[in-house]
Amino acid sequence: KHVLVEKPMSLTVDEGLDMVNACKSHGVKLGVGFQLRYHPGHMEARRLIREGALGAIVLAQAQLGAGTRGELSRAPRTGLSEWWEHPDMIGGASSMIGTGVHAIDSLHFILGQTVTEVSAVTDGQTAEKPLESLVTMCLRFSGGAIGMMCCSSRLPDSKNDVTIYGSDGRIVLKDASRPALAGDLEVTSETVNTTVSYEPDPLALFTWQTEAFNKAIQMDEDPPASGVDGLKVVQVTVAMIESASTGRTVKLESLPVS
């Protein structure tokens, strides 16, 4: 059967490779639940960048956070969600796996470039606190752009924006990284100047994600968020853990997939 899996698709690169290869050898589709790829603002930003509206991409920023005023940390999960508190079960990261993976995939999708280098500073990845609740990352992308990503469960009133700067302008996706359809697209450039607002809809992105996966099956093509896309985000997550743990910049190796 075809497989549409929740993010992250795996906790290690080797596990992700096994998933990609198993689905390929059995002739089934593998999709990953990155619903922000179906946000019309993200799709329009991707189109404009591909058409050169911003010129050469210089800097890409993404933030995805949440929190409660007055609380320095989120209360530990209990019951059926308690596994989130165990480093061995969750793969060595918390906020990154919960929300940061969406921010990384959004940058991959919008830019059409993938992360090649990671330098991370977190409030975890230590013996005293193995799981982080705040991640900051400096990134280098395959097309030459530099990036920054922040994700956290300690950011009340977080501005969950994606901002892309190019040599000819800027795109801002304001508060457009929620699970629900929402937010605004602001484009300022030499050729395009516009603002589009999106009516909130809690189900739209997940509906479009399911429809796109079904279409990929019918048309015998890769889903918009494929297993390889998911694997690339797993690779960034593993690099984040290594960088935060060691204090070193981590360069990503080429994956043996196409």
Selection from 86, 53, 36, 59 nearest residue 233 by Cα: 36
Count other Cβ atoms within 10 Å, centred on residue 25: 8
pLDDT reported for residue 253:
96
Selection from 79, 48, 10, 9 nearest residue 225 by Cα: 9
Cα–Cα dist 83/66, whole Å: 20
Angle of helix 227-246 relative to helix 13-25, nearest 10 degrees, comes to 170
85: which 2 tokens?
A: 């508190």
Each of the 258 residues of the chain gets a pLDDT tens digit; together they read 999 999 999 999 999 999 999 999 999 999 999 999 999 999 999 999 999 999 999 999 999 999 999 998 888 899 999 999 999 999 999 999 999 999 999 999 999 999 999 999 999 999 999 999 999 999 999 999 999 999 999 999 999 999 999 999 999 999 999 999 999 999 999 999 999 999 999 999 999 999 999 999 999 999 999 999 999 999 999 999 999 999 999 999 999 987
Cα–Cα dist 185/95, whole Å: 26
Give the total residue count for the chain: 258
Q: How many helices (H) and strands (E) does the chain have?
A: 7, 11
SS3 content of the chain, % helix, strand, coil (to 5): 35, 25, 40
CATH architecture type of domain 3-246: 2-Layer Sandwich (3.30)
pLDDT reported for residue 148:
99
pLDDT reported for residue 257:
86
Selection from 105, 113, 141, 81 nearest residue 32 by Cα: 105
pTM: 0.97
User: Which of helix, strand or coil describes residue 55?
Assistant: coil
pLDDT reported for residue 244:
99
